[in-house]
Amino acid sequence: MSARAAGDQRWQHPSLPFPLQIRAVAFDLDGTLVETLPDLHESAVRMLAQIGRPPVSESTVRAYVGDGVDRLVKRLLTGKADGEPDATSFEQAVEYFRSHYASVLTRASHPFAGVISTLEILRSRGFRLACVTNKPARFTEPLLQGLALTGYLDVVLSGDSLPRKKPDALPLLHVASAFGIEPAQLLMVGDSPADTGAARAAGCPVFCVPYGYRGTLAVQELDCDAIVPTLPDLLDLIRLPRS
């Protein structure tokens, strides 16, 4: 990819023919469609207190989000991105976390600015829409329903919907197949290496938002085709193919 200044919030790959011709868009959930960090942080603090651990900051939880609840809890227990706590401690902690998260799921979580209007416009233009997340279905579905997002989506895939999740190609290939299109006609929009990795593996174009959850990486370090400061910014970068 070409070099990008660290402060840039808007970027398009110079060699791609924008607007891209696509037929469908798949969105990540946490950090892309919805600001879920406050409720994830609250659940983490409650879980850690229950097992006699000190609280962690919201910024710490932000750095740990993106690979599903199990990996988030393992990171909270070990303080390492790929840490593996002992099985007994983990099983107890993850059950506590799930219980707390279920109770606060939509307490403070909310769609990011421009999300609803963008989904409405995309549907009115004839694009098929999906949500592809690593979040377990037990949280994905009630979260989308609670925030009135379900009606905009034709397909929802959670982290446990298929045998493999992002950054594996399978979820995006599944969506493309469900829509009857080629992967190159499905745009992935996300905020993390899991999203860009899945898109590259599947052969899908990928845009990234700069406001999401991607650990310590800068958005300019992600392997994407465009950076869109807000979701409405993607509207001028895509169009349906002429038929």
Catalytically active residues are: 28
| Residue with the two structure tokens 């790929």 | 82
At 28, give phi and psi (nearest 5°): -70, 165
CA distances in angstroms from 92 to 50, 51, 95, 98, 198, listed in the order given? 10, 9, 5, 10, 31
Report d(CA 193, CA 217) in Å as an integer: 9
Q: With contact defined as beta carbons under 8 Å apart, do 36 and 115 qualify? A: no
Cα dihedral angle (190, 196, 198, 204), rounded to 10 degrees?
90
The token pair that represents 156 in the structure block = 């929802």
Gyration radius of the chain's alpha carbons: 18
SS3 string, 2-42, reads CCCCCCCCCEECCCCCCCEECCEEEECCECCCEECHHHHHH
Burial environment of residue 229 by CB neighbours within 10 A (0 to 12, 13 to 18, 19 or more): middle
Q: Residue 148 contacts by C-beta under 8 Å, 6 or more apart in sequence?
A: none
Cα gap 73→126, rounded to integer Å: 39
